[in-house]
Structure 1
Amino acid sequence: SPAQTRSVEKSGCFSRGGLAKITRSSRAGLLFSVSRIDRLLRKGQFADRVGAGAPVYMAAVLQYLTHEIVDIAGEVAARSKKRRISPRHLQLAIHSDSELKKLLGGVTISQGGVLPLNQPVVLPSKKRNGRRAIKRRIVPAPVPVK
């Protein structure tokens, strides 16, 4: 059908009349492989049947989560003046975002290191701003000494 194929010049003995297949990933506008996720869902024996939209939806969710984690980890790496994302940056990225922490808080990342724990006692005390902190006292005028 015209919706599933694109006109591309192909050569060789297995040519199909100049029509090439379009992947399900490109149809859905995804980078993650829909066919691979479909195969893994069927092979995994999670259910007797797998709907046509399930692997597309799952690929979209996985792509979104991966994008979020890598985006935050890139910011963490840039803050530490690094150009390469390390497992430590992934660990800090996951634990800096409340929703990702809720989802992946119990996951152990190899070479991720420990999370920094700042005790409130060690942190410097918060000082109030200028005039509000200083209470104005009425000071009597100095008496000249003779």
Structure 2
Amino acid sequence: IAKSLRSSTLPPSEIPHRAKSQITLAAMDASATGAVSKVKKYVVGRKLGGGPRKKAVARSVKAGLQFPVGRIGRFVKKGRYAQRVGMGAPVYLASVLEYLAAELLELAGNAAKDNKKSRIIPRHLLLAIRNDQELGKLLAGVTIAHGGVLPNINPVLLPKKTAEKEPKSPKKAAKSPKKA
């Protein structure tokens, strides 16, 4: 069997199928089990028996992230942002996105707490973004639906304050003569 496999002019993709069929023929012809084990040992690079497969571990778990590394990698590849995408690129992008989301949610949670609310609404997101210098610069051109605007009143429009509040002294006005 080994000689016939070596001398065959089959393409490499056909050799494993050919080897498997020859192994089964040899197994049927062999009277001893030793011959079958010798034939099985010949087939290189192909596991016939194999053991139990190890459970797959997601790349997000390996990287210690909550964001899906595989899905982000698929989006980067399908988006055709580059001809080739390295193995570390989706991991790095997922970690950056996770950090930004965590930062934004922390600030929005603080804004909700300041307004005595337990649920984050778009208004809290807007307040968090606009009150943070770096997030405000990153998301300067972004409009958040139902976010409103920052509370801001131009100082010119505010009522004028006097320098000091003068205590009003009781001025006695001249009594006008009563008409009788």
Unaligned runs of 5+ in 1: 1-15, 128-146
| Corresponding position of 2:22 | none
| Corresponding position of 2:68 | 33
User: In 1, distance between residues paired with 2:53 and 2:78?
Assistant: 33
User: In 2, distance between residues paired with 1:51 and 1:73?
Assistant: 34
Deviation of residue 118 (structure 1)? 2.8
Following TM superposition, the consecutive aligned residue runs of length 4 or more in structure 1 with deviations greater than 4 angstroms are none
User: In 2, distance between residues paired with 1:35 and 1:19?
Assistant: 19
Deviation of residue 116 (structure 1)? 1.4
In structure 2, the CA distance between the partners of 1:70 and 1:124, relative to structure 1 (3 Å rule), is farther
Mean Cα displacement is larger for which, 116-125 or 49-58?
116-125
Deviation of residue 120 (structure 1)? 2.8
Cα deviation, 1:7-59, whole Å, max 9, x if unaligned, reads xxxxxxxxx71521111001001000000000000000111100110000000
| Corresponding position of 2:130 | 95
| Corresponding position of 2:139 | 104
User: In 2, distance between residues paired with 1:52 and 1:118?
Assistant: 51
User: In 1, distance between residues paired with 2:113 and 2:95?
Assistant: 27
| Corresponding position of 1:86 | 121
User: In 2, distance between residues paired with 1:85 and 1:17?
Assistant: 47
What is the aligned length?
Answer: 111
AA of the residue aligned to 1:40 = F
Is 1:69 aligned to 2:104, yes or no? yes
| Corresponding position of 1:49 | 84
Identity of aligned residues (%): 52
Q: Which structure dedicates a bigger proportion of its chain to helix?
A: 2
User: In 1, distance between residues paired with 2:160 and 2:89?
Assistant: 52
Deviation of residue 119 (structure 1)? 2.0
AA of the residue aligned to 1:52 = M
| Corresponding position of 2:152 | 117
AA of the residue aligned to 1:92 = L
Q: Which structure dedicates a bigger proportion of its chain to strand?
A: 1
In structure 2, the CA distance between the partners of 1:69 and 1:123, relative to structure 1 (3 Å rule), is farther
Structure 1 length-normalised TM: 0.71
Deviation of residue 115 (structure 1)? 1.9
* C-alpha RMSD over aligned residues: 1.9
